[in-house]
Each structure stands twice: as C-alpha cells, then as structure tokens.
Amino acid sequence: MSDPVSWLLGLSAFLLFSIVIGHVLVALLLIVPTWRICQRAGFSGALALFHLVPVIGPFIVMGVLAFSDWPNGEAGAQRAPAGR
Amino acid sequence: MGAEIAALMGFFGITGAFALIGTVLAGWMAWRIVEKAGLPGWTGLGSILLSLTAIGAIVPLILLWIFAYMRWPRDEPAPAAPGYAPSAGSGPSPSPRPAGPAALPPPPAALADGRGWRLAGPLGNGGTVSLSVVGGSAAYVLTSTAAAGPGELIVPDSSVGQPHARLMTAGSRLGLEDLGSPGGTYIDGARLLPEHGPRDISAARVIRLGSVELALTRA
C-alpha cells in the first residue's frame, strides 16, 4: 500500500485532468458552430475561442455578436453590398 | 448547525442570483443575435430558456449548430435586377441557388448601348491591370490564373482567387458575383458575399478583388 498522501495527490491530479479535458471537449462543441457564426457575421472565427474561458467566455462571444455591428451586414440594415 | 444551514442557503442564494442574471443576459443577447441574422428574436430567447427545462443543455446546443449552418434570412438574395440570369457552365458555382426570376428582355424602345466597360487599377507588385468588358450579353470569370481560357479576365495578383468573381453584362448593365474567394470582393467598399448572388454594379465606381482596387468606367 503506497503513501495515502501521494495516493490522494494522484487522485486529485486525475480529477483535475478529467475536468480540464471535459471542459475542452464541451468548449469544442460550442467553438465549432460559433466559429462559423462569427465568420458569417464578419468577425474573425477565432473570437469563438473565448469559449475556452470558463464561465464568462460564452458571454463575451455573445456580447460581441449581440451588441456590435456585424461587418457583413445585419437583417434589415443589410443589403449594403448591393443596396444602391 | 443553524449557521451551516444559513451559510449553505446564502451560497445557493448567491449562486442562484448569478444563474438568474446570466440566464436573462444570455436570453437578451441571443434575442439580438438571431434578430441580426433575420430570424425572430423569440427563437433565440426560447433556446436559452430551454436550458432551464429538463431537456437541459442538449437541445440548445443542437439549436446552436442548426443556427450556425442554416440559411439565414439575412443572406436571402435580394430581388434580382432584371436582365441578370446567372450563367451556367462558365465557372464554378459556390452553392446551389434557387432559380431567380427569368431574365427580362430590354424594353423595345430602348436604344442599343454598345459601349463596354473598363476596369483598371494598380497591382500589388507595382504594375497595373486594365480589363475591357464588351457590352451585350456575356459572362466573364475574373481570376488570377496565368493561363486564361475563353471568357476569363486575368488580374495577376496573389490576393485574387482562381476563380475570384464573375462579371455579367446584360444590355447596358454590368453585374458582379463573388465566387467565394478568401480575398473577398467589395463594391465601393461594401463586401459582396457569394450568398448575395449577382449584383448590379453599373453605377459603382470602385471594385476591389482581394487587395486590388479597380476603377470602373464606361469604355
């Protein structure tokens, strides 16, 4: 039987590793569609990487998409490329 | 024991308050985002509120994927200018597009305008490019490839795609359609996307293909 302290350290390291991997996997499920949404809106797709930031990351991405003007145009105010 | 319960209640109260604020904020932002895409705002709010139900986060996640890859009403082609029928077979088409209204013939009383168009401007390597487009009814592919085939106009610049865009003439009007090149196509500074389809540029002054700005004039 090994030292219980090192056993606990190993267990906590494993748990931490599992949490990080799980977070990255969930973030990937959000990053892929958000990357495309950002690109269609005219922003850099890399903006979607904010999903990697725990808790507030998705709010940052949504805030940028919701409260800034889309470079590729928005419904209603759009038609700029052809509107003349 | 009472102190521990009170502390736990306070903790869950704070957590619940943050969750409530986060949900309201997310619903508001989702409402605005889907409205910018042309969808009714309540669909965005509804997808956020779904995460509060027993369905959990799975359905909003699926809806997020659907929203990312669906056709947005914002990108629906505007009513096409009469006279434009996207040419078939004169270049790759980035995506299937629903058939637009049939091309209308020019008015019988209209005088024939045989003048062409000229696109000219500087290149990134210091040279210049000048393209002539004859009037009538024809389609040209703008490309940077060195070996041009029939119906291709060369803009020898690395920022121009192969192919980059399509020019269409119909009577005295000139149309432009982006073919999805990464460098982008701009009409007087406004981005033209493949989803927009062919657009009338008869009154435009400057066309940008990648980093090449071309002044549009009548020949």
Domain range summary for chain A, segments of one domain joined by +: 4-67
Domain range list for chain B: 2-73, 117-218
pLDDT of amino acid B29: 93
Question: Does this complex have an ipTM over 0.90?
Answer: no
The shortest C-alpha distance from A81 to chain B (Å) reads: 5
Structure tokens that stand for B43 in this block: 């669909």
What fold characterizes domain B117-218?
Answer: Tumour Suppressor Smad4 (2.60.200)
B97 vs B144 pLDDT, higher one? B144
In terms of Cβ atoms closer than 10 Å to its own Cβ (0-12, 13-18, 19+), residue A42 is middle
pLDDT of B89 > 50? The answer is no
pLDDT in tens, B113-162: 667 788 888 888 888 888 888 766 678 888 887 766 777 888 888 888 88
Query: Is the distance from CB of B175 to CB of B200 less than 8 angstroms?
Result: yes
User: If pLDDT is split at 50, 70 and 90, which confidence band does A50 have?
Assistant: very high
pLDDT of amino acid B11: 62
Is A65 in CB contact (< 8 Å) with chain B?
A: yes
Q: What is the 3-state secondary structure (H, E, C) of A15-64?
A: HHHHHHHHHHHHHHHHHHHHHHHHHHHCCCHHHHHHHHCCCCHHHHHHHH
- Interchain proximity B33–A79, CB inside 8 Å: no
Q: Percentage of residues in chain A with pLDDT exceeding 90? A: 57
R_g (Cα) of chain B, nearest Å:
26
Structure tokens that stand for A13 in this block: 């390291």
Candidates B210, B156, B218; CA nearest to B183 is B210
- Interchain proximity A82–B32, CB inside 8 Å: no
**Alpha-carbon gap, residue B201 to A78, rounded angstroms:** 17
**Alpha-carbon gap, residue B176 to B205, rounded angstroms:** 13
Residues of A in contact with B73 (CB under 8 A): 75
Which own/partner contact pairs does B20-24 have at CB distance under 8 Å and 24+ positions apart?
B22/A59, B23/B48, B23/B49, B23/B51, B23/B52
pLDDT of B168 > 90? The answer is no
Is A57 in CB contact (< 8 Å) with chain B?
A: no
**Alpha-carbon gap, residue B207 to B214, rounded angstroms:** 5
Q: What is the pTM of this model?
A: 0.51
User: If pLDDT is split at 50, 70 and 90, which confidence band does B10 have?
Assistant: low
- Interchain proximity B32–A63, CB inside 8 Å: no
Among candidates A62, A78, A80 on the partner chain, residue whose Cβ is nearest the Cβ of B33: A62
pLDDT of A65 > 90? The answer is yes
The shortest C-alpha distance from A60 to chain B (Å) reads: 10
User: If pLDDT is split at 50, 70 and 90, which confidence band does B8 have?
Assistant: low
Is A73 in CB contact (< 8 Å) with chain B?
A: yes
Q: Give the alpha-carbon dihedral of B6, B9, B15, B17, to 10 degrees.
A: -100
